Amino acid sequence: MKKNKLLVLVLLFFQIACNSQTKKINGISFVASREPINTKHILPIKKAQGNYIALMPFGFIRNLSSPKINYNTQHQWFGETKKGLQQYASVFKKEHLNIMVKPQIWVWQGAYTGNIEMNSEDEWRILEDSYTKFILEYAQTAEELNATIFCIGTELEKFVLQRPRYWQQLIKKIKKIYSGKLTYAANWDEFKRVPFWKSLDYIGIDAYFPLSDKKTPTIKDLIRGWQPHKKEIEKVYHQHKKEVLFTEFGYRSIDFNAKKPWNFNTTGKVNLQAQVNGLKAIHNQFWREDWFAGGFLWKWFYNHPNSGGVNNTMFTPQNKPAEEIIKNLYQAK
């Protein structure tokens, strides 16, 4: 009788552990394209065991001190617009994939959005009005799409730190029209200073932490590099009691890819193993933690047969050994 009870307890524990793993957000960031998508474009994502998709409409500003955001224009790619978001979401929903709507700002010539800063109070107010219009329109669209998560901003450090009252008021406005879960995508060196985590559901981090200076860091090297960062992440979790979500994570398939993982401009030799090691290490360190919600891999292109490949040095895992690694990691129990 005691053996039977013990067996039941073991099975129950195993079931809880499995359920905990399957509830993780195994997300993929889906890059907008010029045209609509259909089922054939997302079957490779399902094969890779993704269960969440980040869809990213864009707004554009002229420079880091420009207060006006332009969006839903005829000059944008289809997938970057509201109509594109709606069409993409309809296809993913038919395949039973959850959606995070993650509107983003692009500064002309790719300047870092964290440095957006106005030169006067009047310009700050114009930017706030423009951003409010932009983000509330997509919050309303996310509600209509029944999106599971809505990201209120991505890597906007100076905007956030210099205008904290505005952001608290904006969150209240978003909650009036959107009923799902909220996050903000803080840069890896920003997340400790975000003042409004308690008002959101997830502590969102774009997890491009520097981990190693080696050409091809081993998994052990990377795990060692993660330790100080992981302690800081867990500290912020305990401070706010909100689960941590990696709103972006990933590694390029290039030499020295863990030295400055955020850098998409460097050139170098293809290093497929470095990308594989990076993905294995980050999964090893976070996916089994109770306080960790999951993450969104950066990034995936719609035209799978012609994306990535063994000669590609960029972030996508498509048609590289990393694609099979993601499949194995995401389906792990």
> Could you state, in order of their start, the residue ranges of all structural domains in the chain?
26-330
**What pLDDT shows up at residue 23?**
86
Report pLDDT for 297.
98
Q: What is the pLDDT of residue 332?
A: 79
The CA distance from 300 to 297, in Å, is 8
pLDDT range class, residue 14, cuts 50, 70, 90: very low
The pLDDT, as a whole number, for residue 333 is 54
The whole-number pLDDT of residue 109 equals 86
| DSSP single-letter state for residue 31 | P
Length of the chain: 333
| pLDDT band for position 131 (cuts 50, 70, 90) | very high
Task: Name 150's bridge partners.
Answer: 101, 182
Q: Is the peptide bond before 299 cis (omega within 30 degrees of 0)?
A: yes
152-187: pLDDT as tens digits: 999 999 999 999 999 999 999 999 999 999 999 999
Q: Give dist(CA 314, CA 225) in Å, integer.
A: 22
Q: Per-residue pLDDT averaged across 125-129, rounded?
A: 98
Residue 4 has pLDDT above 90, yes or no: no
What top-level class would CATH report for the domain 26-330?
alpha beta
pLDDT for residue 148 is more than 50: yes
Q: Is the pLDDT of residue 12 over 60?
A: no
Categorize the per-residue pLDDT at 21 as very low, low, confident or very high, splitting at 50, 70 and 90: very low
Average pLDDT, the chain: 93
At 150, list the tokens.
């809505």
Q: What pLDDT score does 255 carry?
A: 98
Alpha helices (H) along the chain:
2-22, 39-47, 82-94, 121-144, 157-162, 164-177, 219-240, 272-286, 321-330
Q: What is the distance, to the nearest Å, from the Cα of residue 207 to the centroid of all Cα atoms in its chain?
A: 8
Q: Which of 233, 246, 325 is nearest to 293 (CA)?
A: 246
Instruction: Check residue 233 and give its pLDDT.
Output: 98
User: Is 328 a residue whose pLDDT tops 80?
Assistant: yes
- Confidence category of residue 229, pLDDT binned at 50, 70, 90: very high
Question: Reading across the β-sheet that carries 70-71, which strands appear in turn?
Answer: 70-71, 58-61, 104-107
**Token representation of residue 239:** 């401070």
Question: Which one has a higher pLDDT value, 46 or 19?
Answer: 46
Give the mean pLDDT of 243-251: 98
Measured between alpha carbons, how far is 86 from 144 in angstroms, rounded to an integer? 9
| C-alpha span between 56 and 81 (Å, rounded) | 9
pLDDT confidence tier of residue 287, bands split at 50, 70 and 90? very high
Question: Is residue 247 within 8 Å of 204, Cβ to Cβ?
Answer: yes
**pLDDT reading at 15 higher than 90:** no
More confident residue, 105 or 20: 105
pLDDT of residue 9: 39
Q: What count of other Cβ atoms lies within 10 Å of the Cβ of residue 189? A: 17
Confidence band for 62, pLDDT divided at 50, 70 and 90: very high
Scanning the structure block, which residue is given the tokens 């909220």?
Answer: 182
Which residue's entry shows tokens 């330790």? Answer: 227
Answer whether 273's CB lies under 8 Å from 254's CB.
no
The percentage of the chain sitting over the pLDDT mark of 90, rounded to a whole number, equals 91
Q: Which amino acid is located at 222 in the chain?
A: L
Query: CA Rg, the chain, in Å?
Result: 20
Token pair of 40 as six digits = 């054939």
Binning pLDDT at 50, 70 and 90, where does residue 3 land?
Answer: very low
Pairing of strands 98-101, 149-154: parallel
